[in-house]
Amino acid sequence: MTTRRTMLAGLAAAAILPRRGWAAVGAPAYLAAGRRPDGSHALHGLGADGAVVFAVPLPDRGHAAAAHPDRPVAVAFARRPGTFGVALDCRDGRVLARLTPPPGRQFNGHGAFSADGARLYTSEVVAEGSAGRIGVWDAEAGFQRIGEWDSGGIGPHDLRRDAAGRLVVANGGIQTDPTDRTPLNLDRMRPNLTVLDETGAILSLRELPGDLAQNSIRHLALLPQGAAFAMQWQGDAADPVPLLGIAPPDGALTLCPCPEADAFAMQGYAGSVAADADGRIVVTSPRGGVAMIFAADGTHRATLRRADLCGAAPAPQGGFTLTDGGGAVWAADEGGLRLLARHDLAWDNHLIALESARGT
């Protein structure tokens, strides 16, 4: 847990971070974890052109990161189930705080800051039983843990803070063995999408219909109205099911079908999802080497193919930016893929768009 010395160091660092914010580290558009050729891991800042503008070491394989809305501070999380989160000053790689979940808890790979950057929220599970929790941390006091909330389901993964300050949580519904992630409840899954207010109270909880209860809700993208969610099918591999859904502000969850051949190509696995300012959506499958683009109403528009595509984020000037496990960074739209940059890295699953780059 955070020591007094670490807490005071974090406070001091926060006080001196420049008002220039993310411009102090090259004004990156994205954050992404990646593995270097020597097997070490780092969190990278990427420009809109795909260039690496900074890299700070990580203690092990990273998954996703949460970016402070104003300061060049990021919290990187271990691949689930993990026990490390590390708050980094992206100017020089200094560790501001090391986050450790309480005994019997595990981080689940994702987190989000409050709109003012004062709090950090982390997706977690109770190791025995996989009950979902949202950890609450005081980012102004050296990332000291100050509480936790019920996520509203089992196995939360991604979470996003919407424009109203609410938390949207993807509860995957899978109970796993705490040591090796073996699924324990595939025959009785109940994935859901939960919205929490700023006190942790559940405002809404929506589930998939019973015949799709094995479609684990994993990742999220905020839409101009509501959210898009990406899923991972845990049922019979012979059944091609939609892996993208839309959650309107109110009402039932809706699914976005695609041509059957493309559904099979996804291999039941969506790795990431992103939405642009117009509400267009991209969902990726590293297993299938597929990225599919949908219109704002959920209509399938294009299928793009490239090995190990996974990371996805909206591009500042429209369309999307994608990353793959071979170190490439791609511009993507309905017309296809265009190589932006290639690095001697293996990008991990997620590409995190910075709010400062979106102008929000």
Give the tens place of pLDDT for each residue, 275-314: 999 999 999 999 999 999 999 999 999 999 999 999 999 9
pLDDT in tens, 199-225: 999 999 999 999 999 999 999 999 999
Query: Do 128 and 226 belong to one domain?
Result: no
Report the chain's mean pLDDT, rounded to a whole number: 92
Coil, helix or strand at residue 4: helix
Among residues 183, 207, 231, which one ends one of the domains?
207
Three-state SS at 104: coil
Count how many domains the chain has. Answer: 2
Kindly indicate the confidence band of residue 6, based on its pLDDT and cuts at 50, 70 and 90. Answer: very low
Answer yes or no: is pLDDT of 20 > 80.
no
Residue 355 or residue 26, greater confidence: 26
In the sheet that holds 144-154, the strands lie side by side as 105-113, 119-126, 131-138, 144-154
Please give the residue range of the domain that contains residue 307. Answer: 218-360
User: Does the pLDDT at position 325 exceed 60?
Assistant: yes
- Whether 80 has a pLDDT exceeding 70, the answer reads no
pLDDT at residue 358, rounded to an integer: 54
Element (H, E) at 7: helix 4-16
The Cα–Cα gap between 54 and 69 comes to 18
Residue 78: pLDDT above 90? no
Q: Is residue 116 part of a domain?
A: yes
Mean pLDDT of 173-200: 93
Instruction: Say if residue 16's pLDDT is above 60.
Output: no
pLDDT bin (cut points 50, 70, 90) of residue 7 is: very low
* Of residues 1 and 32, more confidently modeled: 32
Beta strand 41-46 with 336-342: parallel, antiparallel or unpaired? unpaired
Q: How far is CA 17 from CA 68, 144, 192, 256, 359, in A?
A: 12, 19, 39, 43, 20
Specify the pLDDT at position 349. Answer: 94
Q: Is 79 or 1 the better-scoring residue by pLDDT? A: 79
Q: What is the pLDDT of residues 230-279, one digit of tens each?
A: 999 999 887 889 999 999 999 999 999 999 999 999 999 999 999 999 99
Would you say 227 and 221 are in contact if contact means Cβ atoms under 8 Å apart? Answer: yes
Strand partners, 323: 311, 329
Angle at 158 between CA 254 and CA 167, to 5 degrees: 80
Q: Are residues 301 and 165 in the same domain?
A: no
Burial 90-117 (b: 16+ CB within 10 A, else e): bbeeebbbebebeeebbbbbbbbbbbeb
256, part of any domain: yes
Q: Does any domain span residue 200? A: yes
DSSP assigned state of 101: P
Q: How far apart are the first and last CA of the chain?
A: 33
User: H or E segment at 8?
Assistant: helix 4-16
C-alpha to C-alpha distance for 306 and 304, rounded to whole angstroms: 7
* Shared domain check, 183 and 73: yes
Please say which residue of 207, 231, 258 terminates a domain.
207
